[in-house]
Amino acid sequence: MASVSSQPQFRYTQPPSKVLHLRNLPWECTEEELIELGKPFGKVVNTKCNVGANRNQAFIEFADLNQAIAMISYYASSSEPAQVRGKTVYLQYSNRQEIVNNKTTADVAGNVLLVTIEGQDARLVSIDVLHLVFSAFGFVHKITTFEKTAGFQALVQFSDAETATSAKNSLDGRSIPRYLLSESIAPCTLKITYSAHTDLSVKFQSHRSRDYTNPYLPVAPSAIDGSSQLSVGLDGKKLEPESNVLLASIENMQYAVTLDVLHMVFSAFGPVQKIAMFDKNGGMQALIQYPDVQTAVVAKEALEGHCIYDGGFCKLHLSYSRHTDLSIKVNNDRSRDYTVPNPAMANPQPSGFGQQPVQTMGPAAHQYNGTQYGPGSGQPMMPHQPSAGWGSGVPGVPQSTPVQMTNHPYMPQTTPGTMQMPGGYGGVPPAGSVPPYRPNQM
DNA sequence: AGCACA
């Protein structure tokens, strides 16, 4: 018998197989479409679609080799290429002799979907956003999320396979709508298969899992650490484990973000007790500690996704830290405990949080000279349209807090001193020249 | 537009 030597280079001389390999298929090509395509040439006994990294390849297996040959021969000499939905698809014999395992468990329709959230910021997609996305197709019973090697995944349970299928068909391969995400979050694509589960076991309401059929389920003990508290919403809003400590990561950091800049920005919402900065994943992150959760919540909602500098520079991503009290060992340009008087500081600040403890912070603060303000414009920047991705007038989408900056001033009037830079620091240029960050005044 | 990981 003729040995089939594998020679990937010479695809044109691929030996015949009753399995055909198709590529350049339109997105989400269905098995039905593949059958339609192959049917004129013979009996399609198996298919496999959504193959390859782009999921635009597929296999068709004919009952008989001659049928596959007929199809290849036909299109080899046809003036019309093979098409699916008007898109040219390219055919060749597969280098395999049969389709293995097309109908796996992952393809058996069920009421539970396995959702993989892909994207740089997949982990930032909240369970609430997922709930919102999937609720469009029917009542979502439960959601669990977890991290696997495959990335950030979720199991989404519907009442029945039909609902799950409609959600899968509509959402698989699609991105989470921009307006549901902070503008700073990179696009997140959903890859969906069926799960073999039929009923998820959700023991607690937490930021990792929800049971929407039982809103009175206890809140996860792990989510109630220390002073953090959960505002449990039945509608699936705001169930993150809030904390008085925020984790800030800064994206697109074209301009240096110093401790003082962070202090100023975050002081707009209340007293900042401690800040710790560190490098992570090639970027910079910081932990910002407020005395209470409420202040942190306000700050997070106001600042999330916003840029410290105009032009999309230094975008803030905020999440709640699991810390409740930072341990600041030493006050330096990376970490600071503002609650203890620092002998190195000319001005201990008993009263004013908004006070800039920067008098001695020469080097860092001095990086902020006029030329670094904005990209070429000496203009102070406010996060103009802080949320380009939100509030785009999309109907039916809950416009939650972050968008409504109008009634949500960055700088509460009740905190005098905060960010009153001009003249406020009596001839302390560094502070005054710090961040071109401004409350969004509208 | 170029071969599947259940």
> In this predicted structure, what is the pLDDT of residue A83?
96
Pairing of strands A151-158, A274-280: unpaired
CA distance to A202, A204, A436, per residue, from A218 (Å): 10, 5, 45
Nearest nucleotide over every DNA/RNA strand to the A106 CA, judged by C1'? B6
Round and report the angstrom distance from CA (A89) to C1' (B3).
15
DSSP character at residue A25: P
Q: Which residues touch strand B (CB under 7 A)?
A: A 8, 11-12, 14, 19, 21, 23-24, 48, 51-52, 54, 56-57, 59, 90, 92-96, 98-102, 104-106
User: Is it the case that residue A90 has pLDDT exceeding 50?
Assistant: yes
- Residues A331-380: tens digit of each pLDDT: 999 999 999 876 555 444 444 444 444 333 333 333 333 333 333 333 33
Nearest nucleotide over every DNA/RNA strand to the A98 CA, judged by C1'? B4
Nearest nucleotide over every DNA/RNA strand to the A19 CA, judged by C1'? B3
| Confidence band for A171, pLDDT divided at 50, 70 and 90 | very high
Round and report the angstrom distance from CA (A108) to C1' (B6).
13
Round and report the angstrom distance from CA (A42) to C1' (B3).
22
User: Is it the case that residue A292 has pLDDT exceeding 70?
Assistant: yes
Residue A89: count other Cβ atoms within 10 Å of its Cβ: 22
The model's pTM is 0.36
pLDDT, chain A, mean: 75
Round and report the angstrom distance from CA (A137) to C1' (B4).
30
Round and report the angstrom distance from CA (A10) to C1' (B6).
28
Nucleotide B4: closest residue by CA–C1': A51
Of A358 and A294, more confident: A294
User: Is it the case that residue A185 has pLDDT exceeding 80?
Assistant: yes
* Strands of the A44-51 sheet, one edge to the other: A44-51, A57-62, A19-23, A90-93
Nearest nucleotide over every DNA/RNA strand to the A103 CA, judged by C1'? B6
Round and report the angstrom distance from CA (A343) to C1' (B4).
66
Nearest nucleotide over every DNA/RNA strand to the A99 CA, judged by C1'? B4
Round and report the angstrom distance from CA (A107) to C1' (B2).
25
User: Is it the case that residue A79 has pLDDT exceeding 80?
Assistant: yes
Nucleotides of B under 7 A from a protein CB: 1-6
Across A252-259, average pLDDT: 87
Taking alpha carbons only, the member of A423, A419, A422 closest to residue A441 is A419
* Amino acid in position A368: Y
Taking alpha carbons only, the member of A277, A220, A279, A219 closest to residue A246 is A277
Residue A291: count other Cβ atoms within 10 Å of its Cβ: 15
Q: Where does residue A345 rank: exposed (0-12), middle (13-18), buried (19+ CB within 10 A)?
A: middle
Of A412 and A253, more confident: A253
Of A348 and A215, more confident: A215
Percent of chain A with pLDDT over 70: 68
How far is residue A89's CA from residue A75's CA, in Å, rounded to a whole number? 10
Nearest nucleotide over every DNA/RNA strand to the A87 CA, judged by C1'? B1
Nucleotide B2: closest residue by CA–C1': A23
